[in-house]
Amino acid sequence: MLEKDDAATSDGAGDSGGSFSGPCPSPVPRKTYSRSWSDSGLMLPRHDPNGGNDSWDPNEDNGGRGLFKVPSNFKTRGNLRARSNLPPLQPLTVTHGRSEPAPVSDDVGKLPPCKPVWRDSNGEQSKLNLSSVHGVGDNYELLRKEKRAIFDKECSKVAEHIYLGGSAVASDREILGKHGITHILNCVGLVCPEYFKADFVYHTLWLRDRSSEDITSILYDVFDYFEYVREQQGRVFVHCCQGVSRSTSLVIAYLIWRERKSFDDAFQNVKAAREIADPNIGFACQLVQCQKRVHSFPLSPNSLLRMYRISPHSSYDPLHLVPKMLKSPTPAALDSRGAFIIHIPSDIYVWIGLKCETIMERDARGAACQIVRYEKLKGPVVAIKEGEEPSYFWDAFSSLLPLMGKSSNLVDVTESSKKLIPGERKVSSYNADYEEFQKAITGGFVPPCASSGSTHETHFPVRESCWSALRHKLTTESVKEIASDQNHLSQELIFSAQQN
């Protein structure tokens, strides 16, 4: 396999061969699925539509107001899943940031460790593996360098509005202008500045090329950006250091969602446009999980209840708040200082702590709407304030966690959570992120980075992250469209009634 993107950075941002929590998933079949259940199983509680909670159902289904059935044969479904041509990947462990481990895998099978070898749709070994030159020492190193040198100044077209490349193209105004680039997604703010801010619209991420790096939490923001560029009839240049791992992973994810492709098909599309494309193994595992979610693949037992906390994706952009999945989705994980998304098969709850800042609450609502939009969910988004939790909220934990094999002391945890004084919940492992966020909203400091040429913290005024602004804009437009559609439907019903 080609060497991972971006060798060395001043902060050690190379691929450190990190770890991934739980078994690394196998790819799923290429056909799509709808998230529906016909099996008999446990009846999950739904929210009370007349309960007075702040709720919004972006995909209102008047026929789906009843209880939601969970199939009783989850294990059988998981064991009967067809596998695609990719062999099992070696289990890794991914740690996301300082506070939590990686999200649990959707795949319930335990896979034997093996060296990953990518194959095409005919079962033939892909060029990506480069097995013909492995083990030949200097010849392999020379070939790798030559290949990258060929693409160094290459602005690779993947779609009509998406181009891929490295920092050499990002710093060349002539090449960017030649390809009609209007927007730039810089994936490596740590080492590459926004070279031409007066000429292009920039969005920046602070990703490291490590197997342990979390890209899942920012994928839907990236989809928003690519869709915005497409609607504006613009062209976005997506770059990291060499256009090998980070930038290509984000484009592969977008093709998986936008064109309904499997991971390996999307990967081969990107590789056809840019031969040196080679996501690191941690990114590849996350992309397979992305495929399952955006293609509405049937849920496995350990994904019946997903829980996300809203926190900064990077200390370099502390107001870019993203949903980070928690490994242990229990009531004990709630914190009065923050906002949390609790996603169950029938509903999505946005739990808002009493000490949660308005900015964080708004971003939590927007992130929940992104889940609805990109995963094509039918359940409503229900906002719940701390201290006003209805019984069905707590019942969701006690009903689903036993099915996920997490029944130990569950009753005690749930009951004690109900009795906690509102505003007094606190999880010490979140402290660093909350302190970072508080400094940011009061005009705080961000760490120095290589691209700034500074060795000191940088002071910046209170401002909104461009990512959060875009998310809010698209969410607002979606709500207006839904309201307009509902109003139009109501007028049609009134007219029909008058005619009758």
Residue 352 bridge partners (DSSP): 339, 385
If residue 489 lies in a helix (H) or strand (E), which one and from where to where? helix 466-499
How many other C-beta atoms can be found within 10 angstroms of the C-beta atom of residue 160?
9
The residue from 155, 187, 192, 240 that is catalytic is 240
- SS3 state of residue 399: helix
Known catalytic residue at 240: yes
How many other C-beta atoms can be found within 10 angstroms of the C-beta atom of residue 126?
18
- C-alpha 3/C-alpha 419 separation (Å) is 53
Tell me how far the alpha carbon of residue 441 is from its chain's centroid: 24
Domain locations along the chain: 1-29+81-302, 51-69+304-500
Q: According to the model, what pLDDT value does residue 106 have?
A: 42
- C-alpha 304/C-alpha 400 separation (Å) is 7
Half-sphere exposure of 13 (CA within 13 A, CB side): 22
Q: What is the DSSP letter of 423?
A: T
As its CATH architecture, domain 1-29+81-302 has Alpha-Beta Complex (3.90)
- C-alpha 416/C-alpha 331 separation (Å) is 9
Q: According to the model, what pLDDT value does residue 137 have?
A: 55
| Beta strand pairing call for 183-186 and 236-239 | parallel
- C-alpha 369/C-alpha 364 separation (Å) is 9
Query: Which residue type, as a one-letter code, is found at position 222?
Result: V
If residue 476 lies in a helix (H) or strand (E), which one and from where to where? helix 466-499
- C-alpha 171/C-alpha 166 separation (Å) is 9
Residue 303 to residues 104, 130, 268, 402, 491: CA-CA distances in angstroms? 8, 36, 29, 12, 40
Per-residue pLDDT of the chain (500 residues; tens, 9 = 90+): 444 444 434 343 444 334 334 444 444 444 443 333 333 333 444 445 455 444 444 444 444 333 334 344 434 333 334 434 444 444 333 333 344 434 443 433 333 333 344 444 455 544 444 344 344 456 766 777 778 888 889 999 999 999 999 999 999 999 999 999 999 999 999 899 999 999 999 999 999 999 999 999 999 999 999 999 999 999 999 999 999 999 999 999 999 999 999 999 999 999 999 999 999 999 999 999 999 999 988 778 778 899 999 999 998 889 999 999 998 898 999 999 999 999 998 899 999 999 999 999 999 999 999 999 999 887 789 999 999 999 999 988 888 888 877 665 666 667 777 778 899 999 999 999 999 999 888 876 666 665 555 656 665 555 678 888 888 888 877 665 554 544 543 444 444 444 44
Q: According to the model, what pLDDT value does residue 356 have?
A: 97
Q: Residue 242: which of 311, 313, 187 has the closest Cα?
A: 187
Query: Which residue type, as a one-letter code, is found at position 29?
Result: P
Sheet holding 321-325, edge to edge: 54-56, 381-385, 348-352, 339-343, 306-312, 321-325
**pTM for the structure as a whole:** 0.70
**Cα angle, residue 293 at apex, residues 290 and 296 outer, rounded to 5°:** 145
Q: What is the DSSP letter of 326?
A: P
What CATH number should be reported for the domain whose range is 51-69+304-500? 3.40.20.10
In sequence order, the 6+-apart residues with CB closer than 8 A to the CB of 24 are 88, 89, 90, 91, 92, 105, 111, 281, 285
- C-alpha 481/C-alpha 479 separation (Å) is 5
